[in-house]
Amino acid sequence: MLTHDQALSLLAAARAESDQLGIPMSFAVMDPYGHLVALARMDGAPWISAEVAQGKAWTAAAYGMPSAGQKSKMDPLPNFATALTEMTHGRFTPQPGAVPVYDGDRLLGALGASGGTGQQDEDVCSAAVQAAGWTTAVS
């Protein structure tokens, strides 16, 4: 499980990646059980982005895969996606923009972002996880 200090290092790496793009974003770090460990909203990021980042990170942590994978699975099942979102009190967010954080085969948590396009959000998260020394898939 990610410590608070490790979560802060992920946030710093994500902010550095976001700064390079010139896009203000919000970032959320979840533990492997979907509990929030750390949250940051950059100046100028959309106000809703902090909530969206949390939903994406929760989804990546819950399934141990990028949140984009859940979007692909749910696209042909909109009623099921809506039901899952309801059952999880709005946390299930099947949209690109979050990745799991792995140490070998152990899921440590997830990092989610919001503020750019879904692909930009996911790219920032992937780069931040790698910069912090972890992977986004079982290795």
Residue 138 counted as domain residue? no
pLDDT digits 0-9 by tens, 29-87: 999 999 999 999 999 999 999 999 999 999 999 999 999 999 999 999 999 999 999 99
Q: Is residue 125 part of a domain?
A: yes
pLDDT of residue 108: 98
Per the structure, the count of domains in the chain is 1
Please give the DSSP secondary-structure letter assigned to residue 97. S
Give the β-pairing of 36-41 and 26-30: antiparallel
Where in the sequence is the domain holding 58, given as residue range(s)? 4-131
Query: What is the domain-level CATH number for residue 70?
Result: 3.30.450.150
With respect to residue 22, please indicate whether it lies within any of the assigned structural domains.
Answer: yes
Evaluate whether residue 139 is within a structural domain: no
Beta bridge partners of 30: 36, 110
Per-residue pLDDT tens for 113-133? Answer: 999 999 999 999 999 999 999
Looking at residue 139, its pLDDT comes to 87
CB 99 within 8 A of CB 136: yes
Note if the pTM is more than 0.85. yes
Residue 137 lies in a domain: no
Q: What is the pLDDT of residue 65?
A: 97
